[in-house]
Structure 1
Amino acid sequence: MFYKSAFKDIIYPAYSREPRVTRYRIVLVKNSRLVRAIVQLLADEPLRPQHTDLLTALDVILNRIIEVELMGVRHDCIRLVVLAEAQMIDYPITYNALEIKRRRTAANQPATATDQPIHIRSLDVVRGAVAFYVDREGGKPAGAVIVRMLQ
């Protein structure tokens, strides 16, 4: 299975909170195990120096796109690739595990003063349960397979 959506515009807040616009599309790819959604952003501005408007707003943009198009999709099934200066950068997506809501049976139990270990399955980590964050430091050039799929 292979699916490419058309490019769409998305408006996001710049560092100065002025409106900016970029384009994105979603590509669905099925490998031997599961279907992955690749969110491809087109950056009109250079990604260097590090504090560009797009890099500042990546979390906002990613969560807005997922909320509209991929709500409920598992965290481990989504990738973010930014095309800037003829280079595709693959950014890891993370989340804050403390945002995951406790189950009702656990919520009715009294809270303890000590930290309790919890087990989080990747099936439970979806947008809607937690917000996603872009690991800007972990960005690396996209692999050749990803580049071919997005061209």
Structure 2
Amino acid sequence: MIYKSAFKDIIYPAQNREPRVTRYRIVLMKNSRLVRAIVHLVADEPTQPQSTEIDTALDVVLNRIIEAELVGVRHDCVRLVVQADAQMTEYPITFNALDVARPGDSERRPPPTADQAIHIRSLDVVGGSVAFYVDRESGKPVIARVAEMLR
């Protein structure tokens, strides 16, 4: 199963906080085990060798898209692919485990002062529950099958 939404525009802040725009779409891809949501961003300028403004705003853009369209979708089911010219790069998505609300947490309880071990299941980390972050250093070219599907 493959579902491709139409491309949409998203406005994001540039490094100097001026508005910029890029296009994105959501692609749903089912493999043998589960359905994955691929956030497909199209950068109008190449991402290599110099960094672009979209690179600095990937966290903002990703979280806005998730808030608009992927609230409640599991963290392990979301991928980010950035296309610049003919190059497609997939970036891992991470989150801050300290932001995950634990059962029994209340607003009246002060935050812990020392690190505490907690167990987090990927089923519990969903879009809208925590901010997601893009691991820019771990970006890698997408596999051929995914690249062909996104074209």
Q: Common fold, TM-score beyond 0.5?
A: yes
The 5-angstrom pairing of residues 43-122 of structure 1 reads 43-104=43-104, 107=106, 114-122=114-122
Aligned to 2:138: 138
Q: Alignment partner of 1:129: what SS?
A: coil
- The 3 A distance-change label for structure 1 pair 97 and 51 is same
Distance, in Å, in 1 between the alignment partners of 2:22 and 2:112 is 46
Aligned to 1:40: 40
Amino acid at match of 1:123: L
Q: Alignment partner of 2:57: what SS?
A: helix
Distance, in Å, in 2 between the alignment partners of 1:92 and 1:110 is 32
Number of residue pairs the alignment of both structures matches: 150
Which 4+ runs in 1 deviate beyond 2 A? Answer: 48-51, 106-116
Normalising to structure 1: TM-score of the pair? Answer: 0.92
Tell me how far 1:32 sits from its aligned partner.
Answer: 1.1
Per-residue Cα deviation, 1:43-96 (whole angstroms, up to 9, x for no partner): 001213443110000000000001001011000000000110310000000000
Unaligned runs of 5+ in 1: none
Amino acid at match of 1:96: N
- Identity across the alignment (%): 70
Normalising to structure 2: TM-score of the pair? Answer: 0.92
Q: Verify the 8 A CA contact 1:15 1:52 in the aligned structure 2.
A: no
Unaligned runs of 5+ in 2: none
